Chain A
Amino acid sequence: MIDVIFDTLIDNGLVFAFALIGGIMLIAYFISRYLTRGHVHGSAIAIILGLVLAYVGGVQSGGENGIADVQLFAGISILGGAMMRDFAIVATAFGASMDELKRAGSIGVLSLFVGVILSFVVGVVIGLLFGYTDAISLTTIGAGAATYIAGPVTGTAIGATSEVITISIGAGIVKSVLTMSATPFIAKYIGLNNPRSAIVFGGLLGTTSGVAGGLAATDPKLVPYGALTATFYTGLGCLLGPSVLFLIMGMIFSM
């Protein structure tokens, strides 16, 4: 009997994921309304519940895809994979205003460059504090502090050790997870309540998943603006990391 149920759920993974995520949303909104009296937004709680599931799944399976590595929940990887994520992000543009986007175009570009360089410098400083002094390792860790894709792309291009590349991926994931969960709580202190600041936020933080999740839990209306700039961030990080930033690092630190 149990086998029949399990097999049905596994064979219909995506449909099971719809039901499961619906259940998580229900629990999250219940917690939001009755336990926090509406102070913490339901979607913020839902995302944190999702991250907790990801942790449990990761410990259980030893894999890299959170709960989706547990066979029963594999359907979650379709619903929460890059394809559906990007599809839904593009769909949010339906509610975006052309005028707002035009008005904030140049500040979006500025925030992208500031965002990549800022994360990079912060990553380099932390790397120095932990005792790394060579240009290759520092550049890789700095790029990882930008995003978990820019880190390994840069590290591989300039020949970093696998240990350093792993650290750079870890830094990027920490950034993404923290942006997802902390943004709704910080939003009101940094003026994140209008399309302009959302565009700046997307350009500065740059992790697509983090920005997408963080803004969803803050105010879904802001999502298209932040997501728009964030999707250019990883590309810019991969462009600057192994080239300009590495050259500058090479002038300051030894190889």
Chain B
Amino acid sequence: MVIYGVALLATCMLVGLIIGEVLGVAINVEANVGGVGIAMLLLVLIIDTLRKRERLGEPTQDGLSFWGAMYIPIVVAMAANQNVVGAIEGGPLAIAAGVAAVIAGFLFVPVISKIGKGRSNSYDHREDGRPL
């Protein structure tokens, strides 16, 4: 049933958010620490397991992929909710700091990605499975 997929999604999100809140309290931070990320990992793990056991029905998958497909429209609605006026009214300092942080972030994407690639190239994952 389609609702199984939606319910699985909802349960993963709620469990993730609760873990994120608990993590936040544990390290004394006023924010949800990685709740959505934990929910995503949970969902990937559960789906992986269900697929291997062939327990993931077609309608269940539809319930999941519908909300994945609704992602962009939801992001557009989110954009329409942003405090754009607030961003501009933050003044030149706020604008300069925000813009500079984005440029710095963009510049570091290829740098950090390269570090990762270098490592994975020198280390062949297939060697793990080779008998000694």
Contact = CB atoms under 8 A, between A and B. Distances in A.
B25 to A, nearest CB: 12
A5 interface: no
A76 B30 contact: no
B23 A191 contact: no
Contacts of B127: none
Interface in B75-107: 75-102, 104-107
Interface string B39-71: 111011101100000000000010011111011
B89 A170 contact: yes
Interface residues of B, number: 80
A167 B110 CA distance: 30
Interface string A86-104: 1111111111101001011
Interface string A164-199: 001111111111111110100010001110001100
B122 interface: no
A223 to B, nearest CB: 7
Contacts of A178: 98-99, 102
A172 B97 CA distance: 8
A43 B105 contact: no
B84 A54 contact: yes
Given A107-B116, A178-B102, A90 B40 contact: yes
B82 A146 contact: no
B100 A126 contact: yes
A191 B98 contact: no
A74 B120 CA distance: 48
Contact of B90 (A43, A53, A103, A169): A169
A47 B77 contact: no
A93 B81 contact: no
Contacts of B66: 91
Nearest to A150: B31
Given A91-B68, A126-B96, A174-B99, A66 B16 contact: no
Interface residues of A, number: 116
Given A89-B36, A197-B113, A238-B31, A119 B104 contact: yes
A135 interface: no
Contacts of B115: 107, 110
Contact of A98 (B45, B87, B93): B45
Nearest to A225: B40
A90 B95 contact: no
B39 A90 contact: yes
Contacts of B13: 86-87, 90
A190 B108 CA distance: 9
A1 B87 CA distance: 38
Interface string B8-36: 01101100110010011001011111111
A64 B86 contact: yes
Interface of B: 9-10, 12-13, 16-17, 20, 23-24, 27, 29-37, 39-41, 43-45, 47-48, 61, 64-68, 70-102, 104-110, 112-113, 115-117, 120, 125
Q: List the 3 closest pairs (A to B, CB-CB), nearest first.
A: A170-B90, A174-B98, A80-B77
Given A88-B71, A173-B94, A174-B87, 19 more contacts: A50-B76, A66-B83, A76-B77, A76-B80, A80-B77, A91-B67, A107-B113, A118-B101, A127-B97, A153-B29, A167-B94, A171-B97, A180-B79, A191-B109, A204-B108, A205-B105, A216-B75, A231-B37, A236-B33
